[in-house]
Structure 1
Amino acid sequence: MIVRSGPHGATIAGCAALLLWAFLALLARLAQPLPPLLLTGLAFAVGGTLGLVVVAARGRLGALRQSPLVWLHGVGGLAGYHALYFAALALAPPVEANLLNYTWPLLIVLLSAPIRGLPLGPRRLAGVGLGALGAVLLLAGGMQGGFGGGAPLGYALALAAGLTWALYSVLAGTPRLAGVPTEAVAGFCLAAAALGLLGHALFEAPAAWPGAGPWLAVLLLGTGPVGAAFFLWDVGMKRGDPRLLGTLAYAVPVASTLLLATFGGGHLSPAMLLATALVVGGGILAATARREAAG
């Protein structure tokens, strides 16, 4: 779960996180009828506990002793993003909220220039533009009559969620935070779990005891999309190429929709196939730009 690698390997680690996040929607659906905050708290508890076991086995528990700024960044990023995202889904139509939330890949690419000093060329911007177009095409297909006028707070929270995750990701590689060991993510996950469970106790009705299927989904969520993915993403953002990862992140909603269509009883549409082609094309452009910059 803890990865040590150079820039190329770190970028691959970030890509592995994106692959795991593609399974988030499918596993969350399989975890129903657990309410969102309870599901978030349980999944973070699984991921944080597994991470803590690995950190303890490596004799690295001291990595959890970090400054308040580091804890604010880590817990604020993980818990803050999910709180804003789930609140947006509760207050606005889910497809529109998800579309606004997925401004975070574009923001990662754009913020990498002023915050990290990484150059942005026309090929890279064209790549992220194709990826964004693919995500918009895919997600907008489920919108009912466009953005409604009755959920401005939900839309604002969705945008805030996207900005929160982009800032969390890009700031992880700044001089103040780049030296924070990835092992500290285990502590952030456990703190986020506590906040999620507290939120469930305060704001959600008590949940009925689910069957074996939802519990298996929770374990898989905590092992992958709400567990190992955060450790891999931390490595990718700190030592990899955030511009390329931001572009490739548009593959997440496409892959997630394809998985739901394949295993969740849906169907593949021409819009899904076109969105896939756009995201793949954008990824190729971004990867080519990376090689040119390296040369």
Structure 2
Amino acid sequence: MSNSTHPSRIRGLSEIVADYRYILCDAWGVVHNGVTAYPAALDALKRCRQAGRKVLIITNAPRPKQQVMEQFTRLGVDHDAFDAIITSGEAARDYLAARPGIRIHHVGEERDLAIYDGLDVSMAGEEGAELISCTGLFDDTTETPDTYADAFARWKAQGLPLLCANPDKVVERGDKLVWCAGALAESYAGIGGETIILGKPHRPIYETAMARFAELTGGPVDAGAILAIGDAAETDLRGANDFGLDVLFVTAGIHAEAYGERENPDTDRVNAFLEGTGIGARAYIPHLTF
């Protein structure tokens, strides 16, 4: 692993891609911002595929991959930029599928209900539930984790575990940051509630990625041949570091304000940020380009 808390800045992925056979790329903050796609990032991934690299999108979206594909189409994310998608929503589905008949209380927007399609689960109110299944806030435009303080207390009193289908705490939506399910899970854990958190930075989703790469290539995969790309320190970077993967850090994402100018981040501030989190990267770049 070539990660360092003092990574060099690169102009484009072409400077380092020859060292890797596989690209494991985050979605939100790297290839789109929740409103529109980033054409240069998509071009970079397409060029990697044209050069024989396998490209997986790994996202903490709390939805099935088909729904994410539909979102990509709406945002203008070209499906030719990747070979396959892995989502934390699929990991949550696997968890629930292993517990047929479980009674769940859903917390999140109505659009996320597709995560339960085809599963043997029963929707219940708080009092009748065995599990809180959280895909996000009911309304991330008006609510914050503090909105749920009373609910957290009730759930803890009932001994309800919280299944978090999206470990991200915040994501970009256009030029704004919005709260995600990971922030609710963090707050619930903070009062002693039991949480089950799936997706990045946790090991199982990286094991799924390794298996998917092996399927795509028809043989074993060396973790040293994988380059992870992401913008979020506690999910993308920490997860990749913990799994032993090199990382390309995209700085013009959710932490952009920490580094000065979005398009021209200050190297000393990038290094200080990484030192403070104890996370390394092979290199950094403001936006993903080739």
Shorter-chain TM band: under 0.3
TM-score by length of structure 2 reads 0.28
Bigger proportion of residues as helix: 1
Bigger proportion of residues as strand: 2
Work out which structure has the larger RCO, using CA pairs closer than 8 Å and 6 or more positions apart in sequence.
1
TM-score by length of structure 1 reads 0.27
